[in-house]
């Protein structure tokens, strides 16, 4: 099968949403995933309509096979989670940094048209400026954030040195269908949903006043595709991908409890190392440079996520 798009990490939460969108729009897609954090079941709704390669970013032969004949690479494969990186910094660095470098080298050699790298708002750290814009100094607080910043820099350099068109997207707290609540490193929204479904209290780390720019996954999917299609998009750049709004984590817990019809007071746990206090994006660069804009706001995204969760996970 000849594929136009390669999605690394395509069995993961965001990757599977991208694959489903591409397939449903009639694009030919190849998926590379080692299933270390993704789930093949995430692709059940489009099974048989894409090419599957199970393997690691760190395997050069696998990468060459995955890249053969494709035009665009959407690179989402990584070991996620700030918490995991604090516990296993060498492993996370090996996959996220070494794997990304290997991919860029092979993509350069294969003549790939565009590579879109999934980065993270965690690269900003605890900057006091809100909303956060791409020209702010970075200050990563965790090994995970460092790996994402390193990936961005490699993308920038590969564009400058070799002419490979790269785009780095800084995601802000993505949520939506297929986000795994059962992982030891699960994100806050699926954890809250799972706890509330069991009638348990959601856990807030610290005082719960931390704010986040929660971003529904469909907005992230569209940003990835825009990087491949926007004719005037500036390669070698980073772009914030978020709604440009923020919500306190304790407010999020209250809203999810209300949507689920639960009256459960959250419990508090100690703050986690590596977490930032406040996060909100300035998304003007992506709007202007990619012709992208968020189309799903937080309340709508939460309702859609709850509907999916009740149907599939509870």
Residues marked active site are found at 144
How far is the first Cα of the chain from the last one, in angstroms, to the nearest whole number?
37
Closest to 174 in 3D by CA, of 243, 90, 85: 243
Distance CA 154, CA 147 (A): 11
E strand map for the chain: 5-8, 29-33, 51-54, 72-75, 114-120, 165-171, 174-175, 203-205, 211-212, 215-216, 237-241, 247-248, 267-269
Distance CA 214, CA 249 (A): 10
Distance CA 210, CA 247 (A): 8
E strand map for 9-48: 29-33
The two three-digit tokens of residue 205, written as one number: 């780390």
The two three-digit tokens of residue 273, written as one number: 């190392």
Query: What are residue 207's phi and psi, to 5 degrees?
Result: -90, -5
The two three-digit tokens of residue 290, written as one number: 């990619």
Closest to 217 in 3D by CA, of 1, 9, 18, 4: 18
- Sequence-distant (6+) residues with CB within 8 A of 37 are 12, 79, 80, 183
């Amino acid at each position: 099968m000849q594929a136009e798009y390669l999605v690394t990490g395509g069995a993961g939460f965001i990757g599977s949403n991208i694959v489903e969108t591409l397939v449903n729009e009639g694009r030919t897609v190849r998926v590379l995933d080692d299933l270390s954090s993704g789930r093949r079941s995430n692709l059940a709704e489009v099974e048989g309509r894409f090419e599957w390669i199970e393997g690691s970013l760190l395997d050069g032969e696998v990468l060459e096979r995955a890249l053969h004949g494709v035009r665009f690479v959407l690179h989402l494969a990584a070991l996620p989670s700030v918490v995991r990186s604090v516990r296993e910094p060498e492993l996370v660095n090996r996959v996220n940094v070494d794997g990304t470098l290997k991919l860029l080298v092979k993509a350069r050699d294969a003549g790939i048209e565009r590579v879109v790298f999934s980065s993270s708002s965690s690269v900003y750290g605890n900057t006091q400026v809100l909303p956060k814009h791409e020209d702010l100094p970075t200050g990563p607080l965790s090994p995970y954030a460092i790996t994402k910043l390193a990936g961005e820099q490699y993308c920038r350099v590969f564009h400058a040195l070799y002419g490979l068109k790269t785009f780095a997207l800084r995601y802000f707290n993505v949520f939506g269908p297929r986000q795994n609540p059962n992982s030891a490193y699960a994100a806050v929204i699926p954890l809250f949903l799972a706890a509330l479904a069991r009638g348990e209290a959601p856990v807030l780390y610290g005082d719960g006043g931390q704010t986040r720019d929660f971003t529904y996954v469909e907005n992230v999917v569209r940003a990835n595709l825009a990087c491949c299609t926007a004719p005037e998009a500036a390669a070698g750049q980073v772009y914030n991908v978020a709604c440009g709004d923020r919500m306190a984590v304790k407010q999020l817990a209250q809203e999810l409890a209300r949507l689920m019809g639960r009256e459960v007071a959250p419990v508090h746990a100690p703050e986690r190392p590596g977490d930032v206090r406040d996060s909100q994006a300035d998304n003007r660069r992506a709007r202007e440079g990619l012709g992208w804009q968020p189309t799903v706001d937080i309340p709508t995204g939460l309702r859609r996520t709850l509907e999916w969760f009740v149907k599939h996970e509870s």
